[in-house]
């Protein structure tokens, strides 16, 4: 029997979609240190892309067809403090939805591997 993926463990795309909605609506868009990055963003499209991306990153099906991380963040000039604020909000959104600390750390570690593709672009 194969081991359950983190994607399956936390409830699949439906659960991840709820985390993403909370992440943006309650945390990111209310944080003046990072919300300006989304001033001209179609948030419905952003939420869908983020849900597909996180789903894939956690072992779900690869439905993500967006730009590469480097391309998606080109010209944005995200600094380390912005990256850390987003990671903190992701941690809080996952915890809010009952994801355990051990699993949250796995998610945050996966996000951290993208840091070089996101910062200073």
pLDDT tens per residue across span 76-96 = 889 999 999 999 999 999 999
Question: Residue 23 is encoded by which pair of tokens?
Answer: 């992440």
pLDDT value for 76: 87
> How far apart are alpha carbons 111 and 107 in whole angstroms?
6
Residue ranges of the binding site for heme: 49, 73
Annotated binding site: 49, 73
* 80: enclosing H helix or E strand: helix 80-96
Considering the segment(s) 10-118 as one domain, its CATH architecture is Orthogonal Bundle (1.10)
Domain boundaries, the chain: 10-118
Question: Which range is least confidently modeled, 29-43, 64-78, 91-105?
Answer: 64-78
| Residue 95 token pair | 């915890």
Residue 30 pLDDT level (bands cut at 50, 70, 90): very high
């Amino acid at each position: 029997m194969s081991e359950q993926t983190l994607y399956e463990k936390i409830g699949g795309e439906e659960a991840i979609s709820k985390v993403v909605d909370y992440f943006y609506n309650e945390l990111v868009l209310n944080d003046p240190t990072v919300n300006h990055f989304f001033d001209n963003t179609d948030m419905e499209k952003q939420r869908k892309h983020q849900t597909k991306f996180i789903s894939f990153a956690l072992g779900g099906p690869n439905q993500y067809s967006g730009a590469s991380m480097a391309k998606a963040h080109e010209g944005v000039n995200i600094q380390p403090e912005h990256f850390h604020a987003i990671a903190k909000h992701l941690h809080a959104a996952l915890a809010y939805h009952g994801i355990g600390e051990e699993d949250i750390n796995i998610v945050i570690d996966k996000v951290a591997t993208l840091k070089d593709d996101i910062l200073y672009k």
